[in-house]
Amino acid sequence: MTVLDATAQTADGITVAGEPCVLIKLGEVVLKGRNRETFERRLQGNIRSAVRDIAPVEIWRRHGVMVARVGGGTADVATVDALAERIADVMGIVWVHRAWRVGKDPDSVVRAALDLMSGRTGSFAVRSRRRDKRFPLTSTEIDRLVGTKIVEAYGLPVRLKNPDHTLAVEVDRDEVFVYTDGLPGQGGLPVGMSGRALVLLSGGIDSPVAAYRMMRRGLRVDYLHFSGMPFTGPESIYKAYALVRELDKFQGGSRLFVVPFGKAQQQIKSSGADRLAVLAQRRLMLRTGELMAHRLGGAALITGDSLGQVSSQTLANMTALNDAVELPILRPLVGMDKVEIMDTARRIGTLAISELPDEDCCTLLAPRRAETRAKIEDLRQIDKRLDAEELAERLADSAQEHRPAYGEGAA
């Protein structure tokens, strides 16, 4: 048993007997055996790199949870709060708590609980659990002991349903964690666990959300953006850059590849593609993406297509797009409504960036009536006339790499 005698002061000036730390609840803990080991190791590494700029941390793996503490237990509360906020963006975590680490004995638990509840008004409930049963009290006994002490000290009413404050007590192997608040995590799987893929990122609302959803399923993603350059300004590139910088909080180390697409679009137009121009161009984007994915070690392409949202996103047209490449095209938004997509975009911080004005490269090519039931044979003919394979090769070679990092350039 470790003896802990740390104290620290909260932002409200209350001194709490315990060491401030971050208690991390893991997602999908149903995973068993080797998978679970991989999950936890990957998550541990991802957390460590996410908080590298804030403080050097130690991350302990416990049963179903992890603990992040500032090296040597020297943290102040503000640093721990900053850690918790960053960790809440790391994929594979369902809940993040700013917790206090105290000695594994009832007295230490009561002392910290009283400190944490001091100055509060309203009703409360204590919820205890034991991950390690070697503790003199059962969970029910802890609830009762701590609850009674809080009533005696502050006269607050106990309310088990919808209390104003919930005080959690979690008994662990070497210590007890006590906390009152937390941040919801993103859920899902640690980035990197499912491999790597390439996102086709426009400046729009949908593709950043698609990227988010696939990162959440454990994919590490690279980004590919086609600009209308040299026939448009660089605005769409700035937007793509800003979007990747925001999305980088979910994985770190993001790479954005930008391909000037204006001249290729001109070629498509003069190839007589006519009503098929939009699809021909999307096939060319996918072909280019496939070449780049191979170079980057990506095993799939990701797009923001949502069934029926725009005329190029009919089932027939999606089939015609799939025909252009061999890699699977992941479309995580295929069954989502625009409202749901926008809600997610708002929550993950990309909506405002996507709504900035720009000159979408696609508008250069908008035919009067777009084809909704493209014939694959016709598209293959256009590809032949364009020498799409060769063209895609040249486009991939022309890609410029950027490394937008979360937090960089922030005011």
Applying CB under 6 A, among 190, 304, 332, 404 the residue interacting with ligand ATP is 304
Q: How far is the CB of 351 from Mg ion (least distance, A)?
A: 14
The span from the CA of 261 to the CA of 151, in Å, is 69
Pick between residue 355 and residue 397 the one whose CB is nearest to ligand ATP: 355
Written as one string, the DSSP assignment of 99-119 is EEEE-SSHHHHHHHHHHHHTT
Best CA proximity match to 221, nearest among 241, 248, 239, 260: 248
Determine the Cα–Cα distance for residues 123 and 150; give it in Å rounded to an integer.
11
Q: CB nearer to ligand ATP: give 84 or 210.
A: 210
Q: What is the DSSP letter of 399?
A: P
- In eight-state DSSP terms, residue 158 is B
User: Of ligand ATP, Mg ion, none, which one does residue 361 interact with (CB within 5 to 8 Å by kind)?
Assistant: ligand ATP
Interacting partner of 280 out of Mg ion, ligand ATP, none (Cβ under 5 to 8 A depending on kind): none
Q: Vertex 246, ends 52 and 207: CA angle to 5°? A: 135
Distance in angstroms (rounded) separating the CA atoms of residues 311 and 329? 18
User: Which of residues 21 and 243 has its CB atom nearest to ligand ATP in the complex?
Assistant: 243
Q: Which stretch binds Mg ion (CB under 5 A): 7-15, 200-208, 349-357, 403-411?
A: 200-208
201 contact, one of ligand ATP, Mg ion, none, CB 5-8 Å limit per kind: ligand ATP
Q: How far is the CB of 115 from ligand ATP (least distance, A)?
A: 49
Smallest separation, CB 394 to ligand ATP (Å)? 17
Alpha carbons 223 and 200: distance in angstroms, whole number = 6
Q: How many residues bind Mg ion (CB under 5 A)?
A: 2
* Distance in angstroms (rounded) separating the CA atoms of residues 56 and 326: 44
Least separation in angstroms between CB 309 and ligand ATP: 5
Encode 157-168: b = buried (16+ Cβ within 10 Å), e = exposed: eeeeeebebebb
Stretch 205-234: interaction string toward ligand ATP, x if CB under 6 A: xxx----------------xxx--------
> Among 18-26, 125-133, 203-211, 269-277, which window interacts with Mg ion (CB under 5 A)?
203-211
Query: Minimal distance in Å, beta carbon 186 to ligand ATP?
Result: 20
204 binds Mg ion (CB under 5 A): yes
Structure tokens at 321: 């797009």
Distance of CA 8 to the CA centre of its chain: 31
Contact set for ligand ATP, span 353-382 (CB under 6 A): 361-362
Report the phi/psi class of residue 387: left, alpha or beta, with left for phi > 0 and alpha for psi in -120 to 50: left
Interface positions with Mg ion (CB under 5 A):
202, 204
